[in-house]
Structure 1
Amino acid sequence: MSRADNKTVPGEQIDATIAELDRSLRRLHLTRSDRRTVLEEVRVDLQAAADDGVSPAALIDSDIDAFAREAIEVGGYIPRPRDYPRVLLGGILTAVGVVVAAYVLIVLILTPLLSSWFTLPGSYPSAGPLLVYGALVLAGLIGTLAGLRWLLAGRPAARATLRKAALLLPIGAAAGIAGLLAVADDPDYRTTEGTVTVQALLVVLGVAVALGIARWWALRTTSDDTTSTSATP
């Protein structure tokens, strides 16, 4: 075998081993930046071994998954948490609970009380409903973010998720409300349990999509704002 062949074969073996290790690290939910660090370190070691005539197979055991787990443990890396169900379900339940409580407080308690003070029996200024809806939306947003903060306490990219959720939740809620109004504007619309359920689901879907994107976005773009702590599975 020529000298060029001696260099080519180890290089191909190293590339194949690195590619397989990358797939294993992906399955273990390691973040992209951490995967890059691990792969660069392993490539340097494999190349140094290849220069001494040692193949990757001799340096790394055949169980790549076990090697990947050991690399994560030794390096102190934190795998990306699989907590989307927790974030989505917890965020939606929090939003629903806060909005219901705010509705009872604002519409059923404060509005009649204030209207009696200002002697507006049975009628409200045009800005009244907008003020009430705005208060409900604001309460829902603040309550959802507070609940999300509690749900993500001690987890990777928690603060980044909150920041992105604060940006995306109003958009998701607005999209859901737009869908709700579109259903209500249908000429054949009738208020039934089915139509009300569909309208509610549209708003819930908008909130759920916003929460999911916020969490995904934060985990993809943030190395971690709690790198010194262990992730909760």
Structure 2
Amino acid sequence: MTISPMLSERQKNSCDYYRAFLKRIDHAVGGLDEALDRDGAEHLAEWARTTDLEPFATYRSNARAVLKRYSLYRLGKLSGQVDESPDVSSEEVVADLADTITADANFLREREMQTQVRLQLGTLEPGLVAIDGGIEVSVATGRIDILARDAEGRTVVIELKPGKCPAGALEQLLAYAYDIEQEHGTGVRAMLVAGSFSDRIRAAARRAGGVELRTYAYSLNFATLA
């Protein structure tokens, strides 16, 4: 399939990402369309939860997101709910589908990141403990990833972003911090955690004041199996 020149570079990358996963899933199940027709989407989704076949064994969250989205897409296509008019190219359909997959994957990555950070808040900062009961706190402007208290008893609003920090994250964090300040009647600390930050975000954080930027990195742990 030739990629349409109308697609952006981001959409092309999303298409490549989607197709790569879909091809591996198709190989794992011995024909994805045939498996969906034979076993149904629910049965296939349940199988994907525990199989040791690749790509599920290594990239379970992303692979399951791709499988789910493709199953919904194919169901819509069979029921005539997917637009296949001459004005819509197959490349655009795949790009739109791939963009949705990428968004789903980013959501899963953030949930996984939140779980890991909650397990090691003391590593992020000694004495830091969650005070939200493990559940995102809802405020007027959204949902706070982690609400914590530091060793000195100050409230800390923590926003998590997997990978490179996106535009708008700093504004999002400041809004959350403001909402908590209004509710508690005292000042709070605001902490933004991401894999990396652009120079623009670093400069904006310094200008805003009271915003702490933290980066993270993955580490490898090895175990002998045999």
**TM-score (structure 2 length as normaliser):** 0.27
- Which fold has the larger relative contact order, with Cα–Cα distance below 8 Å and residues 6 or more apart in sequence? 1
User: More strand per residue: 1 or 2?
Assistant: 2
User: More helix per residue: 1 or 2?
Assistant: 1
**TM-score (structure 1 length as normaliser):** 0.27
